[in-house]
A = this chain, B = another copy of it.
Amino acid sequence: MMFEAKVTVRLKKGISDPEGVNTLKALRLLGFENVKNAQTTRMFNLMIDGKDKKTVQKDVEQMCQRLLTNPVVHVYEIEISEQK
């Protein structure tokens, strides 16, 4: 069965987000002074061939820990859905 896994990778609270800070600065320079905060998030969409949802979930957690995220600075969310 094919599953789609959406992995959302965010920075932990208190970790600075230079890309967000610079986006905010650039928006202000363009005249969008009503923007009060900007944060960036990365998402991975993976197509996975797996036995069942639980196995796929476990695999994706492994992928997050080994490659997709840095546990020192990131938190992540995993969303698995079956593809028809």
Contacts of A41 in B (CB 8 A): 42-45
A44 contacts B36, C-beta separation under 8 Å: no
CB distance from A42 to the nearest CB of B (A): 6
B47 contacts A35, C-beta separation under 8 Å: yes
Contacts of A43 in B (CB 8 A): 8, 40-43
- Which residues of A in the span 10-40 have a Cβ within 8 Å of any Cβ on B? 20, 23, 26-27, 30, 32, 34-40
Contacts of A34 in B (CB 8 A): 48-50, 59
- Choose among B38, B44, B59 the residue that contacts A23 (Cβ–Cβ < 8 A): B44
**Is residue A68 within 8 Å, beta carbon to beta carbon, of the partner chain?**
yes
Mind listing 22 A-B residue pairs with CB under 8 Å?
A2-B36, A23-B67, A23-B68, A30-B63, A30-B66, A30-B67, A32-B62, A34-B48, A34-B49, A34-B50, A34-B59, A35-B63, A36-B48, A38-B44, A38-B45, A39-B45, A40-B42, A40-B44, A40-B45, A41-B43, A41-B45, A43-B43
